[in-house]
């Protein structure tokens, strides 16, 4: 009778593991949450989306960027993506092809329409500003579990939602951050807020997510993301539109030929 | 530009594109209009030449796709009006292209512009499009090239086949222009090795592949060289002039880039057979990027390339054994401000010239660009000797629509 009882307890605790974190260290619990976030995004196949960026400087003057994204899910590796720049008009037709990898450097090519030139670019440093905005390349890149070391910190309410609060430290040597603090709601595992700490471990930026919508009855995507830079007073708002899933993108949509005619 | 052939080719591309599709629904209309001002602080070497020029250029672009994006039509005319140089006042069709995309192939027909290679200082392997030299001294501006191109994509790379049925002559500055050869180049008398002249059918093949950190391209071109040599001649008034001579050539080239961390290692090499002689040339170097320099968001790239031509001083290019060093600064700000400063040093003759380029966006749709070049004491034997007094500064303001 005794062994039977033990088995039941073990089975029950295993079932509860990812949720309750029973008998877990904060690191294990953090990793389990990150894996759950990732799992809930698995199988989307491919997607397209449109992005409007509004950059606001300290004086409040705004400038805009319009970008379209095409993404292909790659099993066992980072996603492939194509970003196409529509505005500002002087860079219209510029496009970027990225094969992301969880730990290794991404492969990245840029198409410059005026010269019709495809340039392989160094992707080592992803801490630089994306299009002059407060978002760094690494903030917008494919979010793979292996990109960070995790630690669960506490549970608290954020905007009325029960959330896990995690700390994640970039595994990548050339990241611009020492750590990030992430609020994830317990119900749907959607990221609600991220605080970015710079290399000197000072609070650099806060990113908030809002207007989440569910697609294909499974995949949650935010309608907007706002980034505030506490050190410069500048901010960037991202407005996501027209999310589409499983539109039939293939490997052949993500090569140098397709980069050249991306528009 | 020989209108007859260009228009014939354009008409064919247009016809395949099914004009009905183009008219049925509107496409995308973009482009720019720009004014440019160039000042030459030094008096010219010849009294015919002027001290400054103002010019206006327009490059609209029409694009339309259909068949779920599998077919597209692009039309990019170009026109420039110049106050000093009648040769620089010219028009071109940069693109007039029909493209059809299949599962692992693409067909592209019409007038097109393309780029091969990896280097910054010169483009040895890039031999398909003719240089529009009147537009820009750096040789980066190109004329539209009539072609039919089939591209096959596979796991073993991409193979491109080109048929190039018509030749475009290089443009050269006119008599009154600065930045020209000592003797004026009389393009009206251009000569060809091929009896078919401009109608010689050239062909080319290119394969490229990305293997991990490496990007590799191999290419072969067979046809009339885009770079002319020059013969002495006289114009209708009996003045001595230079007459461009376009020889046939067979050129095989390789271009390689290794992307290792913050380093880009680059190599382009060619072997060319022309008029019974074979010669080799290469460009090799690196680019290294420092990020977040001066405690800011700016990136600074250091570039250095060595240029070699085994014909030595007799090479019809000013770059026979030269070293180019450059620095690129991108501020990564809202206005996308960037600068490129470069110097090219002739290793054997110890002369050099310096160039500066910079640009930034103004408001949403404007862009201001600056360019300057300083020629420092070129020796008499150097092809750029004739430009010794042509150091200049240039400002361009463009409005994008």
Q: For residue range A21-77, list pLDDT tens digits in order.
A: 457 899 999 999 999 999 999 999 999 999 999 999 999 999 999 999 999 999 888
Cα of first residue to Cα of last residue in chain B, in angstroms, is 27
User: Side by side, which strands form the sheet with B191-192?
Assistant: B191-192, B240-246, B229-234
The pTM of this model reads 0.90
The answer to the question of residue A14 being in a domain is no
Domain that holds residue A212: 38-260
Q: Which residues of B touch A127 (CB under 8 A)?
A: 291-292
Mean pLDDT of B343-348: 84
Q: Is the pLDDT of residue B100 over 90?
A: yes
Q: Provide the pLDDT confidence category of residue B26 given band limits of 50, 70 and 90.
A: confident
Confidence of residue A18 (pLDDT cuts 50, 70, 90): low
Query: What total of structural domains would you count in chain A?
Result: 1
Q: Please list the alpha-helical segments (H only) found in A163-208.
A: none
Burial class, B72, CB count within 10 angstroms (exposed 0-12 / middle 13-18 / buried 19+): buried
Give the residue numbers spanning the domain of B194: 3-400
Is B148 exposed, middle or buried, given 0-12, 13-18 or 19+ CB atoms closer than 10 A?
Answer: middle
**Residue A149: closest CA among A112, A175, A110:** A175
β-pairing, B240-246 vs B191-192, is parallel
Model pLDDT for residues B204-261, shown as the tens digit of each residue: 999 999 999 999 999 999 999 999 999 999 998 899 999 999 999 999 999 999 999 9
Residue A24 falls within a domain, yes or no?
no
Q: Show residues of chain A in contact with B257, CB under 8 Å.
A: 120
Task: Specify the pairing of strand B277-290 against strand B263-274.
Answer: antiparallel
**pLDDT at residue B6 in the model:** 61
Q: Which of A116, A233, A244 to mutate to test the interface with B (most CBs of B within 10 A)?
A: A116
- Residue A71 covered by a domain: yes
Q: What is the ipTM of this complex?
A: 0.91
Is the pLDDT at B9 greater than 70? The verdict is: no
Find out whether A215 and A48 touch, Cβ atoms under 8 Å. no
Residue A117 lies in a domain: yes
CATH for A206: 2.50.20.10
* CATH number where B350 lies: 2.40.160.100
The nearest alpha carbon in chain B to A101 belongs to B212
pLDDT over 60 at A13, yes or no: no
Q: How many domains does chain B have?
A: 1
Q: Is residue A3 domain-resident?
A: no
Main-chain dihedrals φ then ψ at residue B45, nearest 5 degrees: -70, -30
Q: What is the pLDDT of residues B269-327, one digit of tens each?
A: 999 999 999 999 999 999 999 988 888 889 999 999 999 999 876 666 666 788 999 99
Q: Cβ–Cβ of A128/B106 closer than 8 Å?
A: no
pLDDT of residue A143: 81
Residue A217, Cβ neighbours under 10 Å: how many?
5
pLDDT at position A1 over 60 = no
Give the residue-averaged pLDDT of B2-30: 64
Backbone angles phi, psi at A139, to 5 degrees: -75, -25
Model pLDDT for residues B172-200, shown as the tens digit of each residue: 999 899 999 888 899 999 999 999 999 99
Stated as kind and residue range, the H or E segment containing A170 is strand A161-170
CA distance B346 to B307: 9
Tell whether A9 is covered by a domain.
Answer: no
Tell me whether residues B115 and A92 touch, CB distance under 8 A. Answer: no
Q: How many CA atoms lie within 13 A of B315 on its CB side?
A: 20
């Amino acid at each position: 009778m005794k062994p039977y009882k033990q088995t039941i307890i073990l089975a029950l605790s295993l079932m509860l593991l990812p949720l309750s974190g029973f008998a877990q260290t904060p690191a294990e619990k953090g990793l389990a949450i990150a894996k759950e976030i990732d799992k809930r995004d698995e199988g989307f196949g491919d997607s397209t989306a449109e992005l409007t960026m509004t950059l606001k400087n300290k004086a409040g003057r705004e400038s805009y960027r319009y970008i379209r994204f095409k993404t292909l899910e790659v099993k066992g590796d980072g996603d492939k993506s194509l970003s196409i720049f529509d505005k500002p008009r002087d860079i219209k037709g510029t496009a970027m092809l990225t094969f992301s990898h969880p730990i290794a450097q991404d492969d990245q090519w840029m198409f410059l329409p005026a010269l019709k030139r495809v340039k392989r670019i160094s992707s080592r440093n992803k801490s630089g500003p994306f299009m002059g905005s407060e978002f760094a390349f690494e903030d917008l890149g494919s979010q793979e579990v292996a990109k960070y070391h995790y630690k669960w910190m506490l549970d608290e309410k954020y905007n009325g939602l029960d959330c896990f609060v995690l700390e994640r430290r970039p595994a990548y040597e050339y990241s611009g951050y020492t750590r990030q603090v992430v609020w994830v709601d317990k119900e749907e595992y959607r990221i609600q807020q991220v605080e970015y700490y710079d290399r000197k471990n000072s609070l650099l930026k806060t990113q908030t997510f809002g207007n989440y919508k569910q697609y294909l009855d499974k995949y949650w995507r935010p309608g907007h993301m706002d980034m505030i830079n506490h050190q410069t007073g500048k901010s960037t708002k991202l407005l996501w539109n027209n999310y589409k899933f499983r539109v039939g993108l293939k490997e052949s949509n993500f090569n140098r030929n397709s980069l050249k005619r991306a528009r | 530009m020989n209108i007859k052939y260009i228009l014939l080719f354009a008409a064919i591309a247009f016809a395949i594109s099914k004009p009905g599709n183009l008219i049925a629904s509107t496409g995308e209309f973009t482009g720019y209009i720009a004014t440019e001002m160039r000042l030459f602080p030094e008096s010219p070497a010849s009294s015919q030449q002027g001290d400054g020029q103002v010019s206006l250029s327009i490059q609209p672009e029409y694009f339309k796709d259909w068949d779920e994006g599998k077919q597209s039509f692009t039309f990019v005319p170009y026109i420039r009006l110049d106050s000093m140089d009648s040769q620089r006042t010219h028009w071109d069709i940069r693109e007039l292209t029909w493209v059809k995309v299949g599962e692992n192939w693409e067909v592209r027909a019409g007038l097109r512009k393309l780029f091969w290679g990896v280097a910054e200082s010169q483009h040895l392997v890039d031999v398909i499009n003719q240089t529009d030299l009147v537009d820009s001294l750096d040789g980066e501006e190109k004329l539209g090239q009539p072609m039919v191109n089939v591209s096959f994509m596979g796991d073993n790379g991409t193979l491109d086949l080109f048929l190039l049925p018509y030749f475009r002559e290089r443009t050269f500055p006119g008599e009154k222009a600065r930045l020209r050869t000592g003797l004026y180049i009389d393009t009206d008398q251009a000569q060809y090795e091929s009896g078919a002249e401009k109608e010689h059918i050239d062909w080319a093949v290119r394969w490229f592949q990305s293997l991990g950190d490496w990007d590799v391209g191999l290419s072969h071109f067979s046809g009339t060289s885009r770079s002319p040599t020059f013969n002495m001649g006289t114009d209708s008034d009996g003045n001595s002039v230079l007459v461009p001579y376009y020889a046939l050539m067979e050129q095989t080239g390789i271009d390689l880039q290794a992307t290792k961390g913050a380093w880009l290692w680059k190599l382009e090499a060619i072997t060319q057979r022309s008029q019974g002689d074979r010669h080799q040339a290469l460009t090799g170097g690196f680019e290294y990027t420092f990020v977040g320099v001066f405690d800011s968001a700016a990136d600074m790239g250091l570039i250095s390339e060595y240029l070699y031509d085994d014909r030595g001083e007799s090479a019809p290019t000013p770059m026979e054994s030269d070293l180019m060093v450059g620095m690129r600064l991108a501020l990564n700000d809202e206005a996308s401000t960037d600068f490129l400063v470069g110097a090219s040093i002739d290793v054997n003759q110890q002369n050099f010239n310096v160039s500066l380029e910079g640009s930034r966006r103004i408001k949403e749709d404007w862009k201001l660009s600056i360019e300057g070049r300083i020629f420092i004491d070129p020796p008499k034997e150097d092809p750029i000797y004739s430009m010794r007094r042509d150091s200049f500064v240039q400002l361009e303001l463009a409005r994008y629509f």
